[in-house]
Amino acid sequence: MSPVASVSLSESNGLSFVNIENAFASAKISLFGGHVLSFIPAADNKERLWVSPHAYLNGERPIRGGIPICWPWFANDHGRDDGELPSHGFLRTQVWKLVNSTEDSKGTTVELAPSFTRAEGFEYDCSVSLRVHVGENLQVSLETENTGVIPFSFNTALHTYFHVENIKHTELKGISGDYKDKLDDWAVKPTPAPYTIDAETDRIHLSAVKQTTIAVDDKDFTEVLSQGNDSLVVWNPWQSAASISDMDPFGYNHMVCVESSVTKGLELAPGEKAELVQTVRPIT
Ligand SMILES: O=P(O)(O)OC[C@H]1O[C@@H](O)[C@H](O)[C@@H](O)[C@@H]1O
């Protein structure tokens, strides 16, 4: 089936991309990883996502930036020793298929599916699909269905790298409750208020935060809405970016990850489905 008029396909360095251009916004998705790379609303023409200038855009490594899909585990919570299985699972490093595209008066929707959902560390029968809607907002919905005969448990995240002009002038609003601090042996701490970032930050906020606003220079810039999550992850490597090969040492100044996440284990019985949804709402 050919894609609808607002969708075009392109290729570079062996990777294929789905480009969407409509009256509301433009967006770019890499089929490697089923990975949204760009969302630029027409209302202000300002990019809302961040991709590292040093990202590997050749299929050699997961893409640093945009919206990596973490599934069926988060980070290294696969129950094996660190490094034995890929960090954040095996969907972000495989080639996805474009299954369908539609357009209507509110925008364009594309549906993607990974090539496989069963691999070492997760040997269950299930199906996964990703719907990306590009309209006034960007909405990304990841659905997991248990198509087998035994229950399984999984974790997942939409690990979005948001573009900010200057992290030192950025505030996150709407997050409350406690978080687990990965950088302090998982100590449980209260969320700071105001929530600014001035050092390396790697936190799992333990409540199912539904609405977060990213404000830059005291002006709300992007709203992040989450559904189907049980937690929210906030990450910025700060000066450790210098030791990440696909980030430049100062890249941390222009990004913050706000990740709609399932980190507590979600059990799906045979026939059950679960959907994790993140909506990126530009505030113009
Ligand atoms: O380098 P990766 O595998 O893409 O992960 C980046 C970061 O992703 C975050 O979600 C994790 O909380 C961090 O611990 C991790 O460092």
**Residue 119: exposure state from Cβ atoms within 10 A (0-12, 13-18, ≥19):** middle
Does residue 1 register a pLDDT over 80? no
Question: Got the DSSP string for 167-211?
Answer: GGGEEEES--SEEEEGGGTTEEEEPPSSEE--S-EEEEE-S---E
- Paired with 261 in beta bridges are 157, 231
135-190 tens-digit pLDDT: 999 999 999 999 999 999 999 999 999 999 999 999 999 999 999 999 999 999 99
Catalytic position from the list 133, 159, 163, 205: 159
Do 247 and 214 contact (CB within 8 A), yes or no? no
Do 187 and 180 contact (CB within 8 A), yes or no? yes
Q: Whose CA is nearest to atom 2 of ligand 1?
A: 87
Do 213 and 172 contact (CB within 8 A), yes or no? yes
Nearest Cα residue to 164 out of 241, 236, 221, 226: 221
Tokens 């700071």 map to which residue?
A: 192
CA 8 to chain centre: 22
What was the pLDDT predicted at 125? 98
Question: Residue type for 114, please?
Answer: P
Q: Report ipTM (2 d.p.).
A: 0.98
Q: How far is the CA of 75 from the centre of ligand 1 (A)?
A: 6
Overall average pLDDT of the 45-54 stretch:
98
Q: 0.95 cut: is pTM over it?
A: yes
Alpha-carbon span 142 to 95, nearest angstrom: 16
Q: How far apart are the first and last CA of the chain?
A: 36
| 159 noted as active-site residue | yes
Which residues have C-beta within 8 Å of that of residue 198, sequence separation ≥ 6?
A: 168
Alpha-carbon span 258 to 262, nearest angstrom: 13
82-113 tens-digit pLDDT: 999 999 999 999 999 999 999 999 999 999 99
Protein fold of 7-282: Beta-galactosidase; Chain A, domain 5 (2.70.98)
Supply the mean pLDDT for the chain: 98
Question: Residue type for 49, please?
Answer: L
| 78 noted as active-site residue | no
Q: Which residues line ligand 1 (CB under 6 A)?
A: 62, 75, 87-88, 159, 182, 202, 233, 235, 259
Catalytic position from the list 103, 145, 223, 259: 259
Q: How far is the CA of 1 from the centre of ligand 1 (A)?
A: 36
